[in-house]
């Protein structure tokens, strides 16, 4: 028995930890807020193999498994990598698109009023038709998290429809769960640093139990969500019959835990966190966006409930 990341996943993540701090800084995220497609960052992700991580080597990928993928997505979340990352990772290989960062795919879905990332994507995939759209016109819609670059989209479906997308969407939910826990870890790290540094009443505010306790509670949430994400990755990798339930669990647990972290971290920062000049909001607002994306915690709990209650 061994429950945890494979050595391969840990090694891949360690490499990413060298690359991402310069490839994706808070300045990169702020540029994405302004509509910059961040092409050099995408090139780096492509060159490092993130975009073809689970694609077989014979098809130009790294041939790693879902455990490496969640480790990578968690790390990308920590650095707040602007999208459409998850979307591109799950759908580009199925469409035979380039995995070097030159193709960035937004996904449209009839249940969503707008298409996230459509304003910066190179392609739009219609999830309901299973086809890419040609002649896309995108009317931007403003969103709370500026990196979402959402738009209302029209276009003409083109090409052979891709079928059997269930496992692709499960992969997107799984990746988003890991990304959320990365965002949460970043917010906790920022908060811990701030609590050590900020002094009030003559002492660092990190000595106050009124701040320690909610932060500890929030960390319990993320700590217990991570193994759930790992189990989901394991089930996905083996195409196990419980993959659907495990992924639903991962998305619900990661969403709730990351949201709670965002609440506590904002409160712990006080007024400085309640500004757009300070970086915390970059990670907090992405958390809000992803909590609602790829099914809410409530949606996923209902998926599980239906299985449990028959």
Residues that bind another protein (CB under 8 A): 1-6, 67, 188, 192, 195-196, 203-204, 206-207, 209, 212-213, 215-217, 219-220, 223-228, 230-231, 234, 249, 252-253, 298, 301-302, 304-306, 308-309
Smallest separation, CB 231 to another protein (Å) = 5
**What residues contact residue 143 under an 8 Å CB cut-off, 6+ apart?**
114, 116, 149, 150, 289
Cβ distance to another protein smaller for residue 39 or 197: 197
Cβ distance to another protein smaller for residue 20 or 253: 253
Cβ distance to another protein smaller for residue 47 or 216: 216
Please give the Cα distance from 227 to 207 (Å, whole number): 30
Using the Cα atoms of residue 269, residue 274, residue 280 and residue 286 in order, give the sign of their dihedral. positive
Cβ distance to another protein smaller for residue 144 or 272: 272
Smallest separation, CB 86 to another protein (Å) = 22
Look up residue 277 and give its DSSP letter: S
Cβ distance to another protein smaller for residue 110 or 203: 203
Cβ distance to another protein smaller for residue 37 or 214: 214
Encode burial over 106-125: b for 16+ CB neighbours within 10 A, e otherwise.
bbbeeeeebbbbbbbbbbbb
Smallest separation, CB 19 to another protein (Å) = 24
Using the Cα atoms of residue 52, residue 57, residue 62 and residue 63 in order, give the sign of their dihedral. positive
| 137 DSSP β-pair partners | 154
Neighbours of 210 (CB within 10 A): 9
Q: Are 170 and 243 in contact (CB under 8 A)?
A: yes
Cβ distance to another protein smaller for residue 27 or 309: 309
Smallest separation, CB 177 to another protein (Å) = 13
Please give the Cα distance from 232 to 249 (Å, whole number): 8
Smallest separation, CB 137 to another protein (Å) = 40
Smallest separation, CB 258 to another protein (Å) = 15
Smallest separation, CB 207 to another protein (Å) = 5
Q: What is the DSSP string of 213-271?
A: HHHHHHHHHHHHHHHHHHHHHHHHHTT-TTHHHHHHHHHHHHHHHHHHHHHHHHHHHGG
């Amino acid at each position: 028995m061994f429950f945890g990341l494979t050595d391969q996943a840990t090694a891949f993540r360690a490499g990413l930890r060298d690359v991402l701090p310069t490839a994706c800084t808070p300045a990169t995220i702020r540029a994405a807020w302004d509509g910059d497609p961040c092409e050099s960052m995408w090139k780096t992700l492509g060159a490092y193999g993130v975009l073809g991580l689970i694609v077989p080597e014979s098809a130009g990928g790294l041939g790693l498994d879902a455990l490496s993928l969640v480790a990578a997505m968690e790390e990308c979340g920590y650095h707040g990598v602007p999208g459409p990352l998850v979307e591109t990772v799950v759908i580009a290989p199925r469409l035979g698109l380039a995995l070097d960062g030159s193709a960035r795919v937004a996904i449209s879905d009839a249940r969503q009023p707008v298409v996230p990332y459509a304003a910066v994507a190179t392609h739009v995939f219609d999830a309901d038709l299973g086809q890419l759209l040609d002649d896309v016109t995108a009317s931007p819609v403003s969103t709370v998290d500026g990196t979402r670059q959402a738009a209302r989209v029209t276009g003409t479906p083109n090409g052979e429809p891709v079928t059997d997308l269930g496992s692709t969407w499960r992969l997107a939910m799984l990746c988003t769960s890991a990304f959320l826990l990365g965002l949460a870890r970043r917010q906790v790290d920022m908060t811990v640093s701030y609590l050590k540094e900020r002094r009030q009443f003559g002492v660092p505010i990190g000595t106050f139990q009124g701040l320690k306790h909610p932060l500890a509670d929030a960390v319990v949430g993320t700590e217990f969500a991570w193994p759930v994400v790992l189990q989901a990755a394991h089930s996905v990798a083996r195409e196990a019959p419980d993959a659907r339930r495990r992924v639903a669990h991962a998305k619900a647990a990661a969403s709730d835990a990351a949201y709670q972290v965002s609440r506590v971290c904002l409160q712990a920062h006080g007024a400085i966190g309640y500004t757009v000049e300070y970086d915390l909001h970059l990670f907090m607002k992405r958390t809000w966006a992803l909590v609602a994306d790829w099914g809410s915690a409530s949606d996923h709990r209902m998926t599980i409930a239906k299985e449990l209650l028959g």
